Chains A and B, each alone.
Chain A
Amino acid sequence: MKSRVSRSDFAFRIGTGAFALFLLVIVVSIAVVLTRESMLSITKFGLAFWRTQIWDPVAGEFGALPFIWGTLYSSILALILATPVALGIAVFISELCPARLRQPLVFLTELLAAIPSIVYGMWAIFVLVPGIRALEVWTPSALKQLPLFAGPPLGVGMLSAGVVLAIMVIPFTSSVAREVLKSVPMSQREGAYALGATRFEAIQAALFYARTGIVGAVMLGFGRALGETMAVTMVIGNNPRIALSLFAPQYTMAAVIANEFTEADTDLYRDALVEIGLVLFIITLIINVLSRTLIWSMNRAGSSASQQAAQPAKAAA
């Protein structure tokens, strides 16, 4: 026999569950809708879409390789620039800094994450790009013989995009890395100190213990960089051509959607752009799932290890 209370509890569960289900429905329908809307392009080009380099909407030729290249190039560049800095900040805040400095520093790095992308873009156009251009002009011509630094000094291009992206990614990576370091049991560091380790060696031990989570944090930053739109669109130069040079204007997946979506005058053109969106969705999904799994497994390992560490202490007491 069901009481009034248990019936009400059931209704409560179903009621709140319906809203929660809605969240799930959104994620699934993003995948379904984007696939359906890009059918024209998927059936016409197939996998060749991702292997060809020619993007010529007027002639109806759509190859997305330059965008994949630009997205990966800019994100990896950002990762290389951002990761050491982000990890340094995480280590400083969680291991080294005086307690009074901790909160303000956390606040400031989080502020970096809160500044709108469009403001980063504006700052980059008017301040960073002229600076990068000066750097490119100043680059010795011997260095310019290398393919990595070839091309005219335009300012806009891969280097500008990479630098802006790096600044934007730092707060994400550092805040996750900080959380991960927090979950490393104190005994790890204490053990190292007890063996006569220096500060660096103790932190090294903590970092080694936290390695899975740290990799997760870095990947989470990578996921952010892949999907970042406005700031990159404003400084990367928007040129669908594959180039190795840091100075060359290039294009990313997110940027081409932002720039050309409203101009897509044929169904095929629009479907091609939606397909780029679909793939961007899938890539970021995979990266996010992987990084969350790493961070989660790290946290679980951390909490169980600290419980194990706590038990002997209790027994001794």
Chain B
Amino acid sequence: MNPAARRKLKSAIFVGCCMFSVLVALVPLAFILFFVVREGIQALNLDFFIRMPRPVGEPGGGMFNAIVGTLIIAGLGSLFAIPIGIMSGIYMAEYGGSRMSSTVRFAADTLNGVPSIVIGVFIYTIAVLPFRQFSALAGGLALGVMMIPIIARTTEELLLLVPGTMREGALALGATRARAVFSVVLPAALPGIVTGVVLALARIAGETAPLLFTAFGNRFFSTTLTQPIASLTVMVFTYAISPYPDWHRQAWAGALVLVSIVLVCSLLARIATRRLERMHGR
């Protein structure tokens, strides 16, 4: 074999390996989605959404309390994270060159990389230990802390995408900086920011580790913010590692619901970003 042919062969093998690695990653994805849908569909029914968990041994029942719990905790988290995230994003975009803003950017990236279980321990020590009480509030706080860096960075990125001429126009008309940001730049970037927040929310709703010892879990229905509260993820975890086949069935149903939330949000976000890109393109 002459050297040129050998080099071509090598190149072809390399290209083949790259294609193969895409396949290697997509197979588990297909595998996971397939199993979650197959097992989940069998167990998913109306009862799952509107009934309370039954005691061990009694078949049936649902996860109504956990669904409400997840909504409450995620809602609390966003309430806490959205203002902080968006305002810090504005700061980083507006004062990008300052030392403070690169420090904050660094802190956001760091916080993003902190393992979720460590966030759980942190919130436990500041929001559970002093009151000797697991609570929905602590759970919301934990999820909020995880959302802040994602929202801040998304906001910053999207604000920087807004054409500089728009804010310059506002400033030239005599607007203050705050006015230019809040009534011109931020509204222009808002659809993208909303998309980012929805994505962050979907991702955070699937978190388990930070809730284990903050919101803890609850077999009963509760909307009291100062009491332990159930969540879909923690309930799926408890059910999945239990020895009861009926609980396994329900855990699959819970997993299907979680995956559907993520899937729907990602698809919506993708459609929204596409539309935005087309609008900007015109």
Using A115-B259, A262-B213 as known contacts, say yes or no to A127 and B125 having CB atoms under 8 A apart.
Answer: no
Q: What sequence of 0s and 1s flags, for each residue 26-57 of chain A, a beta carbon within 8 Å of any chain B beta carbon? A: 11011001100100000000000000000000
Q: Which A residues touch B39, using CB under 8 A?
A: 126
Q: How far is the CB of B62 from chain A (nearest CB, A)?
A: 18
Interface string of A277-304 (1 = CB under 8 A from B): 1001100110111001000000000000
Cβ of B19 within 8 Å of any chain A Cβ, yes or no, is: yes
Contact flag A261-B252 (CB < 8 Å), given A16-B94, A229-B117, A284-B114: no
Closest to A106 in B: B270
B228 to chain A, nearest CB (A): 11
Partner of A8, one of B107, B117, B177: B177
Partner of B212, one of A29, A203, A258: A258
B20 neighbours in A (Cβ, 8 Å): 88
Q: Which residues of A contact B13 (CB under 8 A)?
A: 200
Counting contact residues on chain A (CB < 8 A from B), the size range is 35 or more
Q: Contacts A125-B240, A261-B121 given: A27-B110 contact, CB under 8 Å?
A: yes
Instruction: List the A side residues contacting B29 at CB < 8 Å.
Output: 108, 111-112, 115
A132 CB-CB contact with B under 8 Å: no
**Are A289 and B117 in contact, with the CB atoms below 8 A?**
no
A20, A114, A127, A174: the one within 8 Å of B104 (CB): A20
Q: List CB contacts (< 8 Å) of B202-227 with chain A.
A: 202-203, 206-209, 212-213, 216
Q: How far is the CB of A121 from chain B (nearest CB, A)?
A: 7
B88 touches A23 (CB 8 A): yes
Q: A20-B91, A84-B21 are in contact. Are A200 and B177 (CB under 8 A)?
A: no
Distance, CA A93 to CA B39, complexed state (A): 32
Q: Please, which residues of chain B bring their CB within 8 A of the CB of A116?
A: 206-208, 233, 258-259, 262
Across the two chains, which residue of chain B brings its CB closest to A204?
B14
Q: How far is the CA of A4 from the CA of B177 in the complex (A)?
A: 11
Contact call A199/B15, Cβ cutoff below 8 A: yes
* B160 → A minimal CB distance (Å): 15
Which of chain B's residues have a CB closer than 8 A to the CB of A274? 121, 125
Report the nearest A residue to B256, measured CB to CB.
Answer: A119
Complex Cα distance A84/B18, Å?
A: 9
> Does A148 have its Cβ within 8 Å of any Cβ on chain B?
no
Could you give, for residues 110-124 of chain B, a 1 whenever the CB lies within 8 Å of some chain A CB and a 0 otherwise? 110111111111101
Pairwise interchain contact B26-A85, C-beta atoms closer than 8 A: no
Q: In the assembled complex, how far is the CB of residue B141 from the closest CB belonging to chain A, in whole angstroms?
A: 10
Query: If the complex has contacts A16-B88, A229-B209, A292-B109, are A114 and B25 also in contact, measured as CB distance less than 8 A?
Result: no
Q: Is A226 an interface residue (CB 8 A)?
A: yes
A167 at the interface (CB under 8 A from B): yes
Given contacts A88-B20, A116-B207, whether A258 and B177 have CB atoms under 8 Å apart is no
**Residues of A close to B177: CB separation below 8 A:** 8-9, 12-13
Q: Is the CB of A262 within 8 A of B216?
A: yes
Q: Is the CB of B35 within 8 A of A12?
A: no
A73 contacts across to B, CB distance below 8 A: none
Q: Does B87 contact A (CB under 8 A)?
A: yes
Residue of B nearest to A276 (CB): B121
A24 in contact with B107 given A88-B21, A111-B263 (CB within 8 Å): yes
Contact B25–A37 (Cβ < 8 Å): no
Alpha-carbon gap, A30 to B124, bound state (A): 11
Which segment of B3-11, B52-60, B189-197 sits at the interface? Answer: B3-11
CB distance from A26 to the nearest CB of B (A): 6
Shortest beta-carbon distance, A39 to chain B, in Å?
A: 12
> Which residues of chain B from 122 to 156 have a CB within 8 Å of any chain A CB?
122, 124-126, 129, 145, 148-149, 152
User: Are the CB atoms of A114 and B212 closer together than 8 Å?
Assistant: no
Residue of chain A at shortest CB distance from B19: A92
* Interface pair B10/A20, CB less than 8 Å apart: no
20 example contacts (A-B, Cβ-Cβ < 8 A) are as follows A9-B178, A16-B90, A19-B88, A23-B84, A23-B107, A26-B111, A30-B118, A33-B126, A34-B125, A92-B19, A105-B22, A114-B206, A117-B207, A122-B36, A126-B248, A198-B10, A198-B11, A201-B11, A203-B14, A224-B113
Mark B residues whose CB is within 8 Å of A.
7-8, 10-11, 13-15, 17-22, 24-26, 28-29, 31-32, 35-36, 39, 83-84, 87-88, 90-92, 94-95, 100-101, 103-104, 106-111, 113-122, 124-126, 129, 145, 148-149, 152, 174, 176-178, 181, 202-203, 206-209, 212-213, 216, 233, 236-237, 240-241, 248, 251-252, 255, 258-259, 262-263, 266, 270
